[in-house]
Structure 1
Amino acid sequence: MRALCWHGKSDIRCDTVPDPVIQNPHDAIIRVTSCAICGSDLHLMGGFVPSMKSGDILGHETMGEVVEVGSEVRKLKVGDRVVVPFTISCGECRMCRSGLFSCCERSNPAGAEQAKLVGYPTAGLFGYSHAYGGFSGGQAEYLRIPYADVGPIKVPNGLTDDQVLFLSDIFPTGYQAAEACNIQPGQTIAVFGCGPVGQFAIKSAFLLGAARVLAIDTVPERLALAERSGAETLDYEDADLQQKILAMTDGKGPDAVIEAVGLESHGPGGVIENLESTFTAMERPYALHQAILACRPGGTVSLPGVFINAVTVPMGAFVAKGLTMRTGQTHVQRYLEPLMKRIEAGEIDPSFVITHRIGLEEGPEAYKTFRDKKDGCIKVVIRPNG
């Protein structure tokens, strides 16, 4: 089969690789009908994530048609259309039973090594390094799904791939980030970063009852899309950003702030930042700093953005204001059914973020377009099988 594979920093190729096979009686195989490039994939492309190996198949936003099931699979059958969560979870450990699917204790075969770094094992992830299990990703013609009775959700008749694909990651991720803010009627939420996750965080904040959303970015197309969702926008390169946030909230500040950027955020520039960006792989927590500064006293900072290594945090401001931080990989399985119902009810059409649709062979170039924010690119959907 053909698949998008990692071969080193900034080196993504469309390769011919072996087809996946059933390895465990709880596995299923799908023929991928749609997949997508995620902002998190750009961290892999940029060389920020350790334990990648040349030839690793990328991708963790995937859906398709079941073509084979293991002997112990009970909930799926050949021919079912399914969306696959990016988290691989066993469904039986204490974390899964608590609904903390991204903290699964069993699904990551590299869990013992991971625990040396973070204290405990967490869930395996599709296409996201050998620290998370070395599982092949879904930017391919076919995908093997471990624990197939736990992860995938069947797609109801009448819904298109474009409407449901993002249940695999970015819709639940944005929703969990907004839910973590404990939004009360009449509150104001700020969202740093208007990429795909930020766009779903904006939509989700309104779905959960926010009166206002302030969206902060600097890419015109992303700010325009945020405005179409009802957000009020600000440019993060503005030297007076904090003062403008205060002015827009009568000096009170946002009740919660969602930081949807992560480790590669940029500030207003300057010599040190430019050197860091050019010559190092240093994580740049500018957006996190600004989120902590922007949040009102007693508020919440919600952090769906990916970080890999240590970062500096203005802990004095965080403690002085009595803030709460909510973080974590998304517990996707928890949100699949309720968010599918919102799609069916017409409350949201997740396809609003799609700007580019391509075939698999165009993937390497599309990675560069997405990374460089060219051609108005916000979200790329791939049809691996035509």
Structure 2
Amino acid sequence: MRAVTWQGRRDVRVETVPDPKIEQPTDAVVRITSSGLCGSDLHLYEVLTSFMTPGDILGHEPIGVVEEVGAEVPNLRPGDRVVVPFQIACGNCWMCGAGLPTQCETTQVTDEGMGAALFGYTRLYGGVPGAQAEYLRVPQAQYGPIKVPDGAPDDRYLYLSDVLPTAWQAVRYADVPPGGSVAVLGLGPIGDMACRVAGLQGAEIVLGVDLVPERLRRARDRGVETYDLRDFDGRADLVEALRDRTDGRGPDAVIDAVGTEAHGSPAGSLAQQAATLLPRPWAVRLAEKTGADRLAALYTALDLVRRGGTVSLSGVYGGMASPLPLLTMFDKQIQLRMGQANVRRWVNQILPLLDDEDVLGVDDFATHRLPLAEAPHAYEIFQRKEDGAVKILLRP
């Protein structure tokens, strides 16, 4: 089959690799019809390269058709149309029962001290082949895949794999009071969708911050009050403007949908770039002990949120030695919540919103739909924020 493989920093290629097959009785094989390109994939493209191996298959946002099932997958059969969550979980352990499939005790990558295995996301999360491919082996298929109706376009349900539950959890974790205010930092796919979800869940004031014109326009067209970072003279100027909009206190909640590659963090950016130039064993040890994030977005969130408010992190962070202003956080009594989205926990709440009314605007959420063969180009324009690329779907 053809698949998108990682070969080095900013180097992805579409190559022929062995077809997946049933390896365990709880496996399924799914023929992929569409697979999303996620901002988290860009972290592998640019920053987390020390944990990658040439030939790793990328991607974790698939929808497709079941081709084959193992003997212990009673709920699926060939021909079923399914969305596959990005995390791999059993559905039976204590963590899954607690609504935390990202911490599944069956698939935890204990050798690395990490949570549940993920598709296409480095050896830290199990080195499981990803979904930007023609076919995907799905472990724990008795629990993970979500059946969706035949006939509806892929775009209607594909985002259940990651974007929708990640945005939904970000808003739920933000704990915005009814009629309250929330600021969303970063209007990429997750931030954009989080703004939509926040309004749907009852936030009266939704403020979106970014510096990419296309992203700002998309959010503004959905009724979000947008703020262009380029119009402000530093973080303090932006924070003052958003505080003025929220009675001088700051928003009740701030969602950081940016993560480790934030603009405006020159020291963190330099450290990340330098790490990619080291020999791989050195780079791994450095990342595991002293890795740093670009923290401009997180620092902005902590400055901006009102006293007693909540900061919700959906952007991925990976620095083991990233400094935090604990004095400020403690003094402001900030609540901080974060983590990978627990997809199956939220699916039943999201599914009713994917009817023909399309209140979340999923049908036209993608800006680009490209053949799998054009994946290198897709990564390039997404990473550079060119050609209005906000959300890209790859189709084998």
Pick the TM interval, shorter chain.
over 0.9
SS at structure 1 position matched to 2:174: coil
Q: Is the 8 A contact 1:193 1:217 kept in 2?
A: yes
Moved more, 178-187 or 336-345: 336-345
SS at structure 1 position matched to 2:133: coil
> For 1:153 and 1:349, how far apart are their aligned partners in 2?
20
> For 1:277 and 1:101, how far apart are their aligned partners in 2?
30
2:343 corresponds, among 326, 329, 332, to 332
1:169 corresponds, among 162, 172, 189, to 162
TM alignment of 1:113-152, pairs within 5 A: 113-115=111-113, 121-152=114-145
Residue of structure 1 in register with 2:394 after alignment: 382
TM alignment of 1:1-386, pairs within 5 A: 1-108=1-108, 111-115=109-113, 121-237=114-230, 238-239=232-233, 240-267=237-264, 272=267, 275-276=270-271, 279=274, 282-310=292-320, 311-344=322-355, 346=357, 347-384=359-396
Q: Is the 8 A contact 2:177 2:252 kept in 1?
A: no
> For 1:149 and 1:29, how far apart are their aligned partners in 2?
12
Cα offset, 1:183, TM superposition: 2.2
> For 2:171 and 2:376, how far apart are their aligned partners in 1?
32
> For 1:86 and 1:276, how far apart are their aligned partners in 2?
29
> For 2:124 and 2:165, how far apart are their aligned partners in 1?
23
SS at structure 2 position matched to 1:44: helix
The amino acid across from 1:134 in the alignment is G
> For 1:161 and 1:62, how far apart are their aligned partners in 2?
9
> For 2:195 and 2:49, how far apart are their aligned partners in 1?
27
SS at structure 1 position matched to 2:164: helix
Q: CA RMSD in A?
A: 1.6
Q: Is the 8 A contact 2:193 2:360 kept in 1?
A: no
SS at structure 1 position matched to 2:128: coil
Cα offset, 1:279, TM superposition: 4.3
Q: 1:186 to 1:89 in 2, by over 3 A?
A: same
Q: Following TM superposition, where does structure 1 have runs of at least 4 consecutive aligned residues deviating by more than 6 angstroms?
A: none
> For 1:274 and 1:363, how far apart are their aligned partners in 2?
25
The amino acid across from 2:147 in the alignment is K
> For 1:62 and 1:224, how far apart are their aligned partners in 2?
27
Q: Is the 8 A contact 1:188 1:212 kept in 2?
A: yes
Output one character per residue of 1:295-330: Cα deviation in whole Å (capped at 9) or x when no partner.
000000000110112312222211110000010111
> For 1:378 and 1:162, how far apart are their aligned partners in 2?
14
The amino acid across from 1:70 in the alignment is G
SS at structure 2 position matched to 1:57: coil
The amino acid across from 1:342 in the alignment is L
The amino acid across from 2:51 in the alignment is S
Cα offset, 1:366, TM superposition: 0.8
Cα offset, 1:276, TM superposition: 4.8
Q: TM-score, normalised by structure 1?
A: 0.94
SS at structure 1 position matched to 2:363: helix
Moved more, 232-241 or 174-183: 232-241
Q: Is the 8 A contact 2:9 2:46 kept in 1?
A: yes
Q: Is the 8 A contact 1:171 1:350 kept in 2?
A: no
Output one character per residue of 1:50-98: Cα deviation in whole Å (capped at 9) or x when no partner.
4211100000000100010111111111001000000100111110011
Residue of structure 1 in register with 2:279 after alignment: none
Q: Is the 8 A contact 1:49 1:308 kept in 2?
A: no
The amino acid across from 2:119 in the alignment is F
Q: Is the 8 A contact 1:50 1:129 kept in 2?
A: no
> For 1:333 and 1:74, how far apart are their aligned partners in 2?
18
Instruction: Name structure 2 gaps, 5 residues minimum.
Output: 277-291
SS at structure 2 position matched to 1:143: strand
SS at structure 2 position matched to 1:283: coil
The amino acid across from 1:73 in the alignment is V
Q: 1:49 to 1:180 in 2, by over 3 A?
A: farther
Moved more, 357-366 or 277-286: 277-286
Q: How many residues align?
A: 375
Residue of structure 2 in register with 1:118 after alignment: none
> For 1:84 and 1:258, how far apart are their aligned partners in 2?
25
Q: TM-score, normalised by structure 2?
A: 0.91
